[in-house]
Amino acid sequence: MTDVRSGGAVRFGHTELPAEQREALRKAAKLEWATMGFLAVTTTLVFLVLGNSQAMKAAWIEDLLSFLPPISFLLASRVIRKPPSVDHPYGYHRSTGVAHLVAAVTLTVMGGYLLVESGLGLLKAEHPTIGGIELFGSTIWLGWLMMGVMLLTAAPPVFLGRAKMKLAATLHDKVLYADADMNKADWMTAVAAVAGVGGIGLGLWWADYAAALLISASILHDGFKNTRAAVSALMDKRAMTYDDGEPHPLGRQVDTYLRSLDWAADAKSRIRDEGHVFHIESFVVPAGGAMPTLEKLESARKACVAMDWKVQDMVIIPVAELPSEFLPGPTSGGEH
Amino acid sequence: MRRLGSMAGLLLAALLVLSGCGSSFPADPEGTLERVRGGTLRVGASMNGDWVRISAPGSGELSSNDVQGTEAELAKEFATRLGARIEWVAGTEHVLADELKHGGLDLVIGGVDDKTPWVTHAGLTRPYTESRDGRGNIHKHVMLVPLGENAFLLELDKYLMEVKAQQ
């Protein structure tokens, strides 16, 4: 197993990463460490001025939860490098999906908990109490510090998120994508918390709960979205692009290539996303019912593997006719 | 997520508009500070050592002379600063905390520390002094105020921090 920082060959299982992906992985790991460093500072700062504001508490818990995606990413990016073994013939690629699921479920549970707690606070009309704090010899309202800290922590995650988003596309990494997506929206949490505390300052005690409800709803929303994505990935959903926006174009590319071979009459594949790399089973109907030579099969497979670094674990199965029970839908490219 | 952003923005905008309307920041939802200033400060006093001593408990209306002790003196001084007269109510912490919760009192004293279980009923000032009990544990002393009356609390905190600085 090779270390990310060594600059040598980096493998995801038996897939050796091309230079571009190796560089992206190195940068992503750096950014995730930077994210955790930033989070360590902000969670400490916010904790120090937490007070009795429900909105601040929600924002603080969201900050704490933001540790999960970077940890998931860093852990998974170590585990998936293990080569396939006797017990794990498909390799350890799925650890990404497992980490993603754990983080997503945690988000859902905490979001739900905060939503209920904030809702109860609103119903019970518990007026949030925020008093003074001594700062440099004078006593000021703690709310000012709360708002100041939240505004300070609002901007950096947006930049981190943008940078990670690009790498998520290069690495085809959905945990990194989810993390980047949440970071990009992080400033809204800060603004909501500032509005909540500002509301308390104006004597609008409910503003705090309104802000807390907004923040919990956004955590819950992230939780649902990520749980759905993680579960469908583990359920062998057909390979999609890194943002789950559309079926991955590699499917069509592979089928088009296989159909263009002179010995093939028809071809269709099913592709699942193992985390970063794809697992492809291509069914090919040989022309004229004649079996292709081993060389032809082998060169077809090599050509497919050469298309993209994500294609490595691929099998070509010559069949008399395409098994429709394995291949529902018109094409593996995803057209309807 | 975009909806969250716009709603938070709206809340912030409303806040900025409202804050332009003057009045104090932070403000009291129930207007405690405004009512007390030049009016009446309703203080609940619970007997406790040197903090609060009540010489005529349970004999009708209490006068300021009936309530003595370090915290009673602080409450009197605070009332003077606000130009308010004190209406004393004697009782156990339980009764006073409940009264505070339902808006019947503005301040409760009685050697309460920051580990008080009454946080569900009352807001706490910042600790302004410390004491050590027979077991050697340190207690940070606070006073109880109505929940969410932040202008009043800040006024009291400012006073108590001055007291603390003089210790």
pLDDT tens, position by position, A108-164: 999 999 999 999 999 999 999 999 999 888 899 999 999 999 999 999 999 999 999
Q: Which residue of A has its CA nearest to B144?
A: A129
A221 chain-B contacts, CB cut-off 8 A: 1
> To the nearest whole angstrom, how far is the Cα of B60 from the nearest Cα of chain A?
33
Could you tell me if B99 and B44 are in contact, meaning their C-beta atoms sit under 8 angstroms apart? yes
CB atoms within 10 A of CB B61: 9
CA dist., res. B115 & res. B118, Å (int): 9
Over chain A, what is the mean pLDDT? 91
Q: Is the confidence at residue A324, as pLDDT, over 60?
A: yes
> Looking at the partner chain, which of B8, B23, B123 has a beta carbon nearest the beta carbon of A214?
B8
> Looking at the partner chain, which of A134, A141, A195 has a beta carbon nearest the beta carbon of B15?
A195
Q: Where are the domains of chain B?
A: 26-166
B147 chain-A contacts, CB cut-off 8 A: 126-129
CA dist., res. B95 & res. B88, Å (int): 14
> To the nearest whole angstrom, how far is the Cα of A210 from the nearest Cα of chain B?
9
| A238-256 tens-digit pLDDT | 999 998 889 999 999 999 9
| A17-71 tens-digit pLDDT | 899 999 999 999 999 999 999 999 999 999 999 989 999 999 999 999 999 999 9
Determine whether domain A237-336 maps to CATH 3.30.300.30. yes
**Full DSSP string of A35-78:** HHHHHHHHHHHHHHT-TT-HHHHHHHHHHHHTTHHHHHHHHHHH
Beta-strand relationship, B138-141 and B122-124: unpaired
> Looking at the partner chain, which of B12, B145, B156 has a beta carbon nearest the beta carbon of A195?
B12
Q: In tens digits, what is the pLDDT along chain B, a chain of 167 residues?
A: 555 566 666 666 655 555 555 568 999 999 999 999 999 999 999 999 999 999 875 556 788 889 999 999 999 999 999 999 999 999 999 999 999 999 999 999 999 999 999 999 999 999 999 999 999 999 999 999 999 999 999 999 999 999 999 98
- The amino acid present at A165, given as its one-letter code, is M
Q: What is the pLDDT of residue A45?
A: 95
Q: A272 — alpha (psi -120 to 50), left (phi > 0) or beta?
A: beta
> Sorting pLDDT into bands at 50, 70 and 90, what band is A8?
low
Q: What is the pLDDT of residue B2?
A: 55
Architecture of the domain delimited by B26-166:
3-Layer(aba) Sandwich (3.40)
pTM score: 0.86
Helix (H, G, I), strand (E, B) or coil at B141: strand
Q: Where are the domains of chain A?
A: 4-234, 237-336
- Residue B76: closest CA among B49, B52, B111, B47: B52
Name which of A183, A202, A221 to mutate to probe chain B: the one with the most chain B Cβ atoms within 10 A of its Cβ.
A202
Average pLDDT value for residue range A189-207: 95
- The amino acid present at A299, given as its one-letter code, is S
* φ, ψ dihedrals at A161, nearest 5°: -60, -45
| B14-47 tens-digit pLDDT | 555 555 555 689 999 999 999 999 999 999 999 9
Architecture of the domain delimited by A4-234:
Up-down Bundle (1.20)
